[in-house]
Structure 1
């Protein structure tokens, strides 16, 4: 149970030249929001917008939520991280994740199997780079250093740049219980994509049982203040239908599996069926109100304030607000959460 929630904002993917959230990030910083988080999928990257916002702010933490392992080698991600951490004065929180086979194999052209083992190896190499105690090496099998083939002239190296911090906080973006348990074992935090504060604690209780003190669960929550709760709920259902129906293969969709674990199997498969049949509006309508309402904070401000109690009663420690970009809305949420 969390008595004092920390507050951040999730600005998501950078999508177009006009999608500059600088004023939102500045307003959040002035209001005492602790962090801002950017995302990537198969378009823009997460580091560049985060650097852009970091250069225009002074105190707010900078989180990647998340960068995809298969987009970069472990040392490349470690270099990105130590550079941004230096430039921002030690503000980086590095969120990483494996994504899914459609993106990994279809977009990055990399193999997807054994995601947990790859994550463990990846994080170990990054921490070697940051700690700079010896040249970075790995026996593999996923990221062998030095590379065992090629010219055979490769040799272990240490970063020529000394990291500002040898212990940059790492968060895992994880959905399955085994991956969440891995986050609790080797990372500093977990960034769930879909979390129901009244259902998910039971789903992940065993996975998080060994989480150390200070383990941060930083959860993105769509917040849609609106006088018409039903209308706000329907808006909240749109991305849920997309993730359930379109962000994964028909026979292997990790996002859909999250909703199955929550107890919404029948509805989730119905949404997927409608979405893949091209009946997108019907797919949105098929998302249960209870599910959309549990994952989001929607409706009039007094209703949102009331429903915040469920998040305070959950293991979530940091609430990352998505969907609110204006200063009055950010201020209202700040007063609800932080007082």
Structure 2
């Protein structure tokens, strides 16, 4: 299993701190570094700068949502970043969730699966260098064509998703799947959906790259590491609408997911954290001391079909704690 990074965009005080994480990850031997785009710094500008600062590590989005930019623009952006990174770019796209799309971007969440499918189709046409003609339910365009040489090779187009149909779509139309907030057993269930999608698309599942964004915090102060990871995950389950709560419920933790969500929504943060018990934390995160973390990481490495674990960081972690985690989990 490869080890990648899933880097924060908003919690660090300076852009230079974020770019330093790309450099640190490359020096430590990580295979790739992915950048999400939620609030804070935009992924495109940051990755363009990271391309200038690095030489070998793959760079990717995880994810660009399929609402705030047109598909033609996403395709042109992917072509540009592939050129900037000398062929090291990987495009990750997905619908995100209604809390982000409707509340932050002011766009109806609509039919996220169909919209994602249409975006993948158009992006691929753009990257081919041919003139784009497309008539879909959400995307209807004609006459667009790159006025520069198309990237060779074209960057892979990977798809994020959490539910069974979303993961099936990734297997049928994407070059890979980006996963988030999964236990090892939950991941295995969704990998079956990915394989089914690949079969429907007449594709080989082994050709698809599966990346799990995995919350990690590894410190000599193991209690501090666990506290940071617990608070981060409780925020996602409790504070980011119902999207992550429902994903956790599908994995067999409905009662605990509802307890975390309901307490958080009621403003009782301590009750939400208490509901996010040690058992659930250990199923979803790699956290604690370095020795404890390696054991936890092995549970995910044992999942057949998982190609890479992307080390992600709690939103409350300080820069030095992120550095400590990167170094502790660096590939051997």
- What TM-score do you get using the length of structure 2 for normalisation? 0.89
Contact in 2 for aligned 1:189/1:215 (Cα 8 Å): yes
Q: How far apart are the structure 2 equivalents of 1:26 and 1:90?
A: 17
| RMSD value, Cα | 1.9
1:326-337 alignment runs, 5 A limit: 326=323, 329-334=325-330
The alignment status of 1:6 with 2:5, answered yes or no, reads no
Shift of 1:274: 0.8
Aligned partner (choices 279, 286, 289) of residue 275 of structure 2: 286
Q: Quote how far apart the aligned CAs of 1:70 are.
A: 0.6
Q: What is residue 320 of structure 1 aligned with on the other side? A: 310
| Equivalence for 1:149 | none
1:120-139 C-alpha deviation (Å, 9 max, x unpaired):
11111111111123x11111
**Over residues 167-211 of structure 1, what are the superposed CA-to-partner deviations in whole Å (9 max), with x where a residue is unaligned?**
311111111110001001111111111121144313542343444
- TM-superposed CA distance for 1:227, in Å, is 4.4
Alignment of 1:167-178 (within 5 A): 167-178=154-165
Aligned-partner SS, 2:133: coil
2:54 maps to: 57
The answer to whether the Cα contact below 8 Å between 1:127 and 1:166 also exists between their aligned partners in 2 is no
Q: 1:122 aligns with which of 105, 114, 119?
A: 119
Q: Which has the higher helix share?
A: 2
- Give yes or no for the alignment of 1:202 onto 2:183: no
Partner of 1:223 in structure 2?
A: 216
Q: C-alpha displacement at 1:230, in angstroms?
A: 4.5
Query: 1:258 matched to which residue of 2?
Result: 247
Q: Quick one: distance in 1 between partners of 2:227 and 2:153?
A: 45
Matches within 5 A, 1:1-339: 5-15=1-11, 17-19=13-15, 20-133=17-130, 135-146=131-142, 156-165=143-152, 167-211=154-198, 212-227=205-220, 229-248=222-241, 253-314=242-303, 315-323=305-313, 325-326=322-323, 329-334=325-330, 338-339=331-332
Where in structure 2 are there 5+ consecutive unaligned residues? 199-204, 314-320
Partner in structure 1 of residue 316 of structure 2:
none
CA contact (8 A) 2:95 2:116 kept: yes
Structure 1 stretches of at least 4 aligned residues deviating more than 4 Å after TM superposition: 227-231
Distance 2:193 2:176 in 1: 16
- Deviations along 1:93-124, one digit per CA (max 9) or x if unpaired, are 11111112232233223222111111111111
* Structure whose alpha-carbon radius of gyration is higher: 1
Size of the alignment, in residue pairs?
317
CA deviation string 1:76-99 (max 9, x = no partner): 111111111111101111111111
Tell me the distance in 1 between the aligned counterparts of 2:327 and 2:102: 42
- SS of structure 1 residue aligned to 2:267: coil
For residue 12 of structure 1, give the secondary structure of its aligned residue in structure 2.
Answer: coil
What's the offset of the Cα at 1:142? Answer: 0.4
Q: Deviations over 1:36-94 (max 9, x none)?
A: 11111144321111112111111111111111111100001111111111111011111
Q: 1:332 to 1:108 in 2, by over 3 A?
A: closer
Give the aligned partner of residue 202 of structure 2. none
CA contact (8 A) 1:177 1:204 kept: no
Aligned mates of 1:42, 1:222 — CA distance in 2 = 18
Over 3 Å counting, the alpha-carbon distance change for 1:77 and 1:186 in structure 2 is same
The question of whether the paired residues in 2 share the 8 Å contact of 1:234 and 1:285 is answered with no
